[in-house]
A = this chain, B = another copy of it.
């Protein structure tokens, strides 16, 4: 056997840097792994998301990911569970003291809130990009968690306000949400969308204005 640890020459701690003395704490390690996974996904995207990369970033052995989460799938599921609380953390529940009298008022406000929240959250952005790029079990689970959270939020915010008669609000809102998501993704990836530059705050103001106009156009 080469490198038999029993025969390894100790070298008297020569240039040995801190052995780091990792504390043995399963809970902490699990958290570290989850955190590493989320930040990796947020920063690098799903392309470079894998067992090895997560383990490297978490500073532990990949074996622990198998043990604690049952592999990548389990880890993704854990991320999805976290995701359920996204809206809560990101978007204010109250409407900032303003009274929303009409469905149009509401949707205008929600659209802008959603736009802001998405712009501020790289992790969810990556997940949305993932959703439209692949159709694996992993993605489906994440997607489901996200859409459920989103639907809940919409429902809660809607309160008792009803959409105007004769308008398919589900379809219209889906299109508005689609627009926001794609706008933010495009901007994130290339700084523009369909000829519209989306880099400076001024750019985003123009986009927001146009978005408001569109929402007002349908809902009055």
Q: A residues engaging B (CB < 8 A)?
A: 45-47, 129-135, 139-140, 143, 147, 150-151, 167-168, 170-179, 181-183, 185-186, 188-190, 193-196, 206-207, 209-211, 213-214, 216-218
Point out the residues of chain B lying under 8 angstroms from A139, CB to CB.
Answer: 189
A170-B195, A174-B193 known, 10 other contacts, Cβ within 8 Å: A129-B133, A132-B182, A135-B190, A171-B209, A175-B207, A177-B194, A182-B182, A213-B218, A214-B214, A214-B218
One complex includes copies of this chain to the number of 2
CA distance A16 to B63 in the complex (A): 46
Which of A172, A194, A196, A214 is the most central at the interface, judged by chain B CB atoms within 10 Å of its CB? A194
Point out the residues of chain B lying under 8 angstroms from A194, CB to CB.
Answer: 147, 150, 173-174, 177-178
Contact check, B196 vs A174: say whether CB atoms are below 8 A apart: yes
CA distance A213 to B218 in the complex (A): 7
Point out the residues of chain B lying under 8 angstroms from A193, CB to CB.
Answer: 174, 177-178
Point out the residues of chain B lying under 8 angstroms from A45, CB to CB.
Answer: 133-134
Contact check, B207 vs A171: say whether CB atoms are below 8 A apart: yes
Contact check, A206 vs B171: say whether CB atoms are below 8 A apart: yes
Contact check, B175 vs A183: say whether CB atoms are below 8 A apart: yes
Point out the residues of chain B lying under 8 angstroms from A214, CB to CB.
Answer: 172, 175-176, 214, 217-218
Listed A/B pairs (26) with beta-carbon separation below 8 Å: A45-B134, A47-B134, A129-B132, A132-B182, A132-B185, A132-B188, A133-B189, A139-B189, A147-B195, A151-B195, A170-B195, A171-B196, A171-B206, A171-B207, A172-B214, A173-B194, A174-B195, A175-B179, A175-B211, A175-B214, A177-B193, A178-B179, A178-B182, A182-B182, A214-B214, A214-B217
Of B170, B189, B207, which one neighbours A132 at CB under 8 angstroms?
A: B189
Closest to A188 in B: B132
Contact check, A210 vs B172: say whether CB atoms are below 8 A apart: yes
Nearest-neighbour CB distance to chain B for A40, whole angstroms, equals: 15
Contact check, B207 vs A174: say whether CB atoms are below 8 A apart: yes
Point out the residues of chain B lying under 8 angstroms from A183, CB to CB.
Answer: 174-175, 178
Nearest-neighbour CB distance to chain B for A190, whole angstroms, equals: 6
CA distance A114 to B46 in the complex (A): 29
